[in-house]
Amino acid sequence: MKRQTGQSETARHWRPATQAVRGGTARSEWGETSEALFLTSGYSYDCAGDAAARFAGEQAGMTYSRLQNPTVEMLEKRIALLEGAEACRTMASGMAAMTAALLCQLQAGDHVVAGRAAFGSCRWLVDTLLPRFGIASTVVDARDPDAFEAAIRPNTRLFFFETPANPTMDIVDLAAVCALARARGIRTVVDNAFATPALQRPLEWGADIIAYSATKMMDGQGRVLAGAVCGPRDFIEGELLAFIRNTGPTLSPFNAWVVLKGLETLDLRIRRQSENALAVGRFLEARVPRILHPGLPSHPQHNLAMAQMAACGPIFAFFVDGRAQAHALLDALDLIDISNNIGDSRSLMTHPASTTHSGLSEEVRTDMGISEGMLRLNVGLEDPADLIDDLDRALAQAGV
């Protein structure tokens, strides 16, 4: 690689929009302006001594794309800059990132306190996977900092939560919960996928580790899967790296390159989508029995959300009368797609109880606040007036 840009100390003082375009860029001898895509599984050495030195950690350089790749490394440095983190490692999917962030630092006998409102697979990690390895867990209403404190045990090692939470839009008081954790010597792992560093930087509120599905807003156009974990360098390189080196949840260079391109427009997209979501949310608030939208004053944690986030984000939930009416509304949509994805530039709607959270028991879904009448909407970049027209017609057809 010929020239590094975005790696100097100056880069850390760039504003986020600049970091999203320039941060972490490395150029080859060809001087390309766009990041190069390095499709290689391995690397060659000038001599056997160089190979030995690299594997011993005595010489800088790449050894194997399960560990390092120039394109992937650019993405990792860029996300770390955006997040304000010392280091970042990327993985093949958001769930690979969540799993690695937990398992790399936990062992049998440990205890985790987790927010009860979470993506279905994240709840599966807490409820099903961790106990298989002798790791106990307690789920709490993460909206209440006192609930975290009440759940602490002598062996509690970790707080794990999402804010905003999927799909109930619960907001966690980052300052209060992270301060509690630090005072007790407990680490916090925050899933920031709904907000991204463009709208919320949990490290600034005292969080230790940030995990992402970069599939969502970071790519933002429904193209590839990717995940990321950010945090202190000693954690990323000392604990997480050993786990991913030996278990192999590797992000492909092509997917890394696509997410790099997505980050260039992240700030523009997420702010416009937040504006569109507010417009659509105001319309729905007058039409449906209940809505959970952090950007609306009706949200019970609106003030906290707006204190922690630069904008409301593109995702919210609302309720109709049961599964039959929810499915009827989905089937009546013309412009908005039925899809379980989020963070896309296209507007998407799903019924969590029968899709993203269908693997959880009805009892757990009820405890999380997911009813048969809940729908989750990701508002995209379309004209909000067209989205409102589509919803108005579909609501009428479904009898809402």
Task: Give tens-digit pLDDT for 186-228.
Answer: 999 999 999 999 999 999 999 999 999 999 999 999 999 999 9
C-beta of residue 369 within 8 angstroms of C-beta of residue 333 = no
Give the Cα separation of 63 and 143 in Å (integer): 45
Q: Which amino acid is at 277?
A: A
Place of tokens 């390092």: 68
Q: 14 falls in which pLDDT band (50, 70, 90)? A: confident
* Residue 168 pLDDT exceeds 90: yes
Q: 11 falls in which pLDDT band (50, 70, 90)? A: confident
- What residue ranges in the chain does DSSP mark as E strands? 3-4, 26-27, 87-91, 111-115, 136-140, 156-162, 187-191, 209-213, 227-231, 290-292, 315-319, 337-338, 348-350, 374-378
Q: 372 falls in which pLDDT band (50, 70, 90)? A: very high
C-beta of residue 158 within 8 angstroms of C-beta of residue 186 = yes
Residue 22 backbone phi and psi in degrees, to 5: -110, -25
Q: Which amino acid is at 64?
A: Y
Helix (H) or strand (E) holding 171: none
The pLDDT, as a whole number, for residue 90 is: 98
Give the Cα separation of 130 and 139 in Å (integer): 13
Average per-residue pLDDT in the chain? 94
* Residue 178 pLDDT exceeds 80: yes
Write the DSSP assignment of 117-143 as a string of letters.
S--HHHHHIIIIIHHHTT-EEEEE-TT
pLDDT above 90 covers a percentage of the chain that reads 86
**Which of 62-66, 102-106, 278-282 comes out lowest in average pLDDT?**
62-66
With CA atoms as reference, report the closest residue to 264 among 210, 214, 202, 219. Answer: 219
Q: How far is CA 202 from CA 27, 173, 250, in A?
A: 31, 10, 25
The pLDDT, as a whole number, for residue 2 is: 52
pLDDT above 70 covers a percentage of the chain that reads 98
Residue 294 backbone phi and psi in degrees, to 5: -65, -20
* Residue 279 pLDDT exceeds 70: yes
Give the Cα separation of 181 and 85 in Å (integer): 19
The pLDDT, as a whole number, for residue 10 is: 72
Q: What is the pTM of this model?
A: 0.93
* Residue 17 pLDDT exceeds 90: no
pLDDT tens string 20-34: 899 999 888 888 888
Q: 233 falls in which pLDDT band (50, 70, 90)? A: very high
Between strands 111-115 and 136-140, the pairing is parallel
Give the Cα separation of 220 and 271 in Å (integer): 12
Q: How far is CA 216 from CA 138, 157, 314, in A?
A: 28, 28, 11
Give the Cα separation of 74 and 22 in Å (integer): 10
Half-sphere exposure of 69 (CA within 13 A, CB side): 25
